[in-house]
Amino acid sequence: MTASDPDPDSAPSSTLAPAVLISEVGPRDGLQSVAATMPTAAKQGWIAALHAAGLREIEVASFVPARLLPQMADAAEVVRHAVALPGLRVMALVPNLRGAQAALAAGAHKLTMPVSASEAHSLANVRKTPMAMVDEVRAIDALRRGLAGSGPMAGLEAGISTAFGCTLQGRVDEDAVIRLAVACAEAGADEVGLSDTVGYANPAQVRRLFTRLRSELGDKAGAAHMHNTRGLGLANCLAAYEAGVRTFDASQGGLGGCPYAPGASGNVVTEDLVFMFEAMGVATGVDLARLLAAREALRAGLPGEPIYGMTPEAGLPKGFAPAAAPAHSRDTSTGEMRNV
């Protein structure tokens, strides 16, 4: 049995449902932000190791032209491998209709779209205005609905990039962020999250914006995607949790950043985020020991690339016990989170 075909019995033994969903974005957000290209087989082995640790939603690829992001040239092959892992919801980033067509053809379960609240960042990142990206959301929603007769309809998430500030534009108006989020939901997105693309956010701002988002969108209010650029990643995740957020993006080893946002660096470290929640008694469904072991697959695929994390460096505290997961917070037949 190869590293890309983990023993099903190696999954965490608990069948109880987690209270929060940790959505791993390292294989996409992390890998597209480093200069080196991880070999396809190494990506598959890393994704399998993350899955074996209990992660059940992983963003595995970005469907963009290979000339722009050669690190993602094997996106379809990586998706086809990942969808064979039992119980895994496979996500792919798509910036436009063409990318969505390719991702759906490869079998992705969920599409994520970057819709920037900063016009300057939007033009640099996808060469479209924010409202033009709302039109893309509408077109992709129509595409997935048109294909729904051939199987389960893929999910569609809009991530509002630079929601807390932008290195190109500076301040981003909070009212504009909420208007854009509502427009994406009205255009067909199942959920709309907020992203601190450049690490400008602070906990008070995070709590305020997510409270407003949840007030406007209810169950369609989605994930918190925080960066640790200025050391506030975990504090911002905690503020989002206190505002009612239950889905959190994170990247193993803290890999990630936006290549089109100067000064953007590292995502929240998955290992540290899982430890924080488990130590608080908030179950993640992730086996920390296996998650720490998965770093070896990352290192093997990107030799010499710096990876980060306080928990991996310090180790687990003596006597540490993970949280007990409440059985009512996830529908185990579909993998969908319920309100908790």
Would you name the residues annotated as active-site residues? 258
Residue 6: count of CB within 10 angstroms of its CB: 19
Type of residue at 201:
A
Pairing of strands 89-93, 247-250: unpaired
CA–CA distances in Å: residue 243 to residues 59, 164, 203, 208, 297: 24, 16, 10, 8, 35
218 Cβ neighbours under 8 A, 6+ residues apart = none
Between the alpha carbon of residue 271 and those of residues 147, 250, 276, 298, the distances in Å are 37, 9, 9, 13
Q: What is the CA radius of gyration of the chain?
A: 18
Q: Return the number of other C-beta atoms located less than 10 Å from residue 5's C-beta.
A: 13
